[in-house]
A = this chain, B = another copy of it.
Amino acid sequence: MPLARKLGAFVALSAVELAVLDALHKRRRTFVAGRDLVHQGQSDQAAYILASGWACSYKILRDGERQIVDFQIPGDFLGLRSVLLHTADHSIEPITDIEVCEVHASDLLGAFTRTPRLATAVLWAASRDEAMVVEHLVGIGRRHAAERMAHFLLELGSRLSLVGLATKAGYACPLTQYLLADALGLSAVHVNRVLRQLRETGLLTFRDGYVTYDDYDRLLDFAGFDPVYLDHTGPLLR
């Protein structure tokens, strides 16, 4: 269960806590790529735990422009904000076919009542999500395009490795250049140019749905990537 693996980075989960987490995975559903499962502006949304596949959360502006806020990978919540706020402030689209478990606000409250440590763990996960959005804000506000791309692909790799989906060599990545463009505030043409630059300078190759680190240490340095905000150093709560 990727969520247990992820939360395990924050809290050493007891058997009871694992059972409560497991019970949150009852209502399994599948969604096909490209069909939104949460709609910006809708009320009374459920949240979902992503079991397999990739999704993205995004906002559409008045002029029809789209800003992708983040991508979600197995173990991530989809629309956790939407189940707590009255109205979804964003949409969520599966990038691949996905399997999810539907979670209602009452399920969360029930789980927190049984194991308050789990509440802290979910708050940790939400804080980590926020830390990532902050990094994307800093990226768009202050990093030049190649550095922004390198930072973003390193962050994805680090997140994927926490749930066993990446190695030090690289990872499978279904993102198109259009998706990367909408996330990084670049044009698709610019994304293509930046990826070529990263490849030609021997840092990273993104080809045929796979990201390969060509020189991991130099890439870290180039991107100024310090994964400390992803908080993978082991459980704080024992």
A236 surroundings in chain B (CB, below 8 A): 84, 86, 105
Q: A108-B120, A120-B112, A185-B141 given as contacts; is B59 within 8 A of A134 (CB)? A: yes
Q: A123-B126, A134-B59 given as contacts; is B86 within 8 A of A142 (CB)? A: no
A196 at the interface (CB under 8 A from B): no
Residue pair A134, B80 in contact (C-beta under 8 Å): no
In the bound complex, CA of A116 to CA of B108 (Å): 10
Residue pair A134, B86 in contact (C-beta under 8 Å): no
Number of copies: 2
Give chain A's interface residue range (CB within 8 Å of chain B): 35 or more
Residue pair A127, B65 in contact (C-beta under 8 Å): no
Q: Residue-by-residue, is A46-86 near B (CB-CB < 8 Å gives 1, otherwise 0)?
A: 00000000000001011001010100000000001100111
In the bound complex, CA of A86 to CA of B236 (Å): 7
A124 at the interface (CB under 8 A from B): yes
In the bound complex, CA of A108 to CA of B131 (Å): 20
Other-chain residue from B86, B108, B127, B233 in contact with A228 (beta carbon distance below 8 A): B86
Q: Residue-by-residue, is A76-103 near B (CB-CB < 8 Å gives 1, otherwise 0)?
A: 0000110011110110000000000000
Chain A to chain B contacts (Cβ below 8 Å), 25 pairs: A41-B228, A59-B134, A61-B143, A67-B141, A81-B128, A84-B123, A84-B231, A85-B131, A85-B228, A85-B229, A108-B123, A109-B116, A109-B117, A109-B237, A112-B112, A112-B116, A112-B119, A126-B126, A126-B127, A129-B130, A133-B137, A140-B140, A140-B185, A141-B185, A142-B185
